[in-house]
Homo-oligomer: A and B are copies of this chain.
Amino acid sequence: MVAGGFAARHLAVVGLGLMGGSLALALRGCADTITGVDKHPETLHAAIQRGIVDEATDDLKQGVENADVVILSAPVRAILQIVNGRIGAYLRSNTLLVDIGSTKEDICTAMGRLPIGIQAIGGHPMTGKESSGIDASDGALYHNRPFVLCATRRTTPAARLRALELVSALGAVPFEMDAHRHDQAVAAISHLPYLLSAALVATVDHEGEQDDAVWNLAAGGFRDMSRLAASDLDMMKDILTTNTQAVATQLARFRMHLAMLESMLISKDEAKLMELLQGARAARMAWMHKREGKA
């Protein structure tokens, strides 16, 4: 073990989709053994075949009982089921348990009820790909991307440091914040945009039923604005149902901003309309500038 670097004797990754598979690939050199846990036999087979994990099982107990680091990589409610289920009885004392679910408040609360001795911390890497599944796994998926860490009642100072080392080993950039604040932020930048994308596609689809020219003419702007509408529904269902209040708040704020634009447009108050649009343009350009400066 390199001093200060992340190292695991036995890493278990529960859930071998794109995110879990990519984690296992990225941590290949930091763990003596990696066990993959998944309920799909073909996923386990692929993970072994591609050398992403050393061992594979569909049995949670068998997969995690000898691990010193366990990462839960699944839709939010599947993670909640695991944390609220028997895993507390399966884990050795002092095991680091990290999840990478998309909403954090419910999961971190559940983690806080695990047996004392389990070192549990919530995580959320802000990354992804359009393709999903173990076959899309990519060891560089986390490089330079934000990785949120949310302490729970089961996060000791040592667990926090170990989680920060794990994030570094992935090449990601850690952001520590409380779970509530995380959920508010992602409601604005991720869950609201998803709903807007879906509602836009529904609107265009409705127009397309009357005139299919709509679909023929749709170009790059629509492509970008509709991409999120194709997100994985199992993941989105869990996100929306575990972050409903924050999403509803952001929807209400969005409605207000859209209504202002609409009222200025219809009343032909061009100066005011341009002022609002200019503000949005400047905010977006400032963000991109900062982002590109970092990349």
Check B221–A228 contact: CB distance below 8 A. yes
A interface residues, tally (CB under 8 Å): 89
Knowing A185-B213, A221-B228, A229-B281 are in contact, say whether A251-B257 is a contact too (CB < 8 A): no
Judge if A48 is at the interface, Cβ distance under 8 Å. Answer: no
CA A145 to CA B230, docked complex, whole Å: 23
Judge if A84 is at the interface, Cβ distance under 8 Å. Answer: no
Instruction: Give the chain B neighbours of A206 by CB distance below 8 A.
Output: 253, 257
CA A12 to CA B63, docked complex, whole Å: 72
Judge if A46 is at the interface, Cβ distance under 8 Å. Answer: no
Segment of A51-59, A67-75, A157-165, A264-272 engaged in the interface with chain B? A264-272
Check B257–A221 contact: CB distance below 8 A. no
Check B248–A189 contact: CB distance below 8 A. no
Instruction: Give the chain B neighbours of A181 by CB distance below 8 A.
Output: 211, 213
CA A206 to CA B279, docked complex, whole Å: 11
CA A213 to CA B226, docked complex, whole Å: 25
Instruction: Give the chain B neighbours of A205 by CB distance below 8 A.
Output: 279-280, 283
Instruction: Give the chain B neighbours of A186 by CB distance below 8 A.
Output: 217
Q: Digit string of A181-224 for contact with B (CB within 8 Å is 1, else 0)? A: 11011101110111111111111111110010111111111111
Check A217–B284 contact: CB distance below 8 A. no
Number of copies: 2
Q: How far is the CB of A209 from chain B (nearest CB, A)?
A: 10
Q: How far is the CB of A284 from chain B (nearest CB, A)?
A: 5
Check B202–A222 contact: CB distance below 8 A. no
Majority secondary structure of chain A interface residues (helix, strand, loop or mixed): helix
Knowing A146-B217, A207-B184, A276-B202 are in contact, say whether A227-B230 is a contact too (CB < 8 A): no
Check B224–A228 contact: CB distance below 8 A. yes
Check B213–A177 contact: CB distance below 8 A. yes
Check B261–A230 contact: CB distance below 8 A. no
Partner among B193, B207, B228, B233 whose Cβ is within 8 Å of the Cβ of A188: B207
Q: Among the interface residues A182, A202, A227, A290, which one has the most CB atoms of the partner chain B within 10 A?
A: A202
Check A251–B244 contact: CB distance below 8 A. no
Complex interface residues of chain A between 244 and 270 (CB less than 8 A to chain B): 244, 247-248, 250-251, 253-255, 257-258, 261-262, 265-266, 268, 270
Segment of A37-45, A105-113, A234-242 engaged in the interface with chain B? A234-242
CA A88 to CA B244, docked complex, whole Å: 59
Instruction: Give the chain B neighbours of A280 by CB distance below 8 A.
Output: 197-199, 201-202, 205, 229
Known: A196-B258, A223-B291, A241-B268. 19 other contacts (CB 8 A): A146-B217, A181-B211, A184-B207, A188-B207, A189-B219, A192-B203, A193-B221, A195-B258, A195-B261, A195-B262, A197-B280, A198-B277, A198-B281, A199-B280, A205-B279, A229-B280, A230-B281, A237-B277, A244-B268
